[in-house]
A and B are shown apart, each in its own frame.
Chain A
Amino acid sequence: AQTVTQSQPEMSVQEAETVTLSCTYDTSESNYYLFWYKQPPSRQMILVIRQEAYKQQNATENRFSVNFQKAAKSFSLKISDSQLGDTAMYFCAFMTDTGTASKLTFGTGTRLQVTL
């Protein structure tokens, strides 16, 4: 079974600063997908960024980027130029590549607070 670990229950960052959220995972699969989801107070899950394990290049989406270290099974999220709207719970998630319906395994989440 796959496990996803987020060791930072809460983090705080000042507006315009950069913050990195950590995520590690454990799997015996060779091909899989990794995601970061954002859950704001509305509780709507929003996909922030995804990474295919077979791709060596780190994914980037505007102010969001990841540091994917496959050998270390690490998948951290960097948020640059933090904005007040980034305040939310952030979940790291793992999906195996089974070719059929694939289940997501979520980490325990990191609550990020962006302050003035």
Chain B
Amino acid sequence: GAVVSQHPSWVICKSGTSVKIECRSLDFQATTMFWYRQFPKQSLMLMATSNEGSKATYEQGVEKDKFLINHASLTLSTLTVTSAHPEDSSFYICSADSATAGTSYNEQFFGPGTRLTVL
């Protein structure tokens, strides 16, 4: 259980184009989804927190107009990188939270990530 998928797993695009990445919780409903960015050999940096039916909350320094997040249902969140540039090339990871039996917190389950290369 608690499987999260991402699509696509790898995308190459030209500079100036937009790219959409999907994050789905396959066997559970997630009130909240999170989007992370990971540069090579670095840690995960939280970009935004996405709640179903409401606007995403962006971390300081993340351009909300560049990284558009839509969370239209309890099983799907999308991240659109608009007007992508080579510096946006990175590994993007989503996670979805789910209540964990016997605990008072929601555990995050991670997708396999999407590698974005902007030429």
Interface residues of A (CB under 8 A from B): 33, 42-47, 50, 52, 91, 95, 97, 99, 101-109, 111
Contact = CB atoms under 8 A, between A and B. Distances in A.
A44 B32 contact: no
Interface of B: 31-32, 34, 38, 41-46, 49, 51, 91, 93, 95, 97, 103-108, 110, 112-113
Nearest to A46: B110
Nearest to B115: A43
B43 A101 contact: no
A102 B100 CA distance: 13
B113 A44 contact: yes
B44 A101 contact: no
A44 B110 contact: yes
Q: Which 7 A-B pairs have the closest CB atoms?
A: A101-B32, A45-B110, A106-B43, A106-B44, A108-B43, A44-B112, A43-B113
A99 B44 CA distance: 23
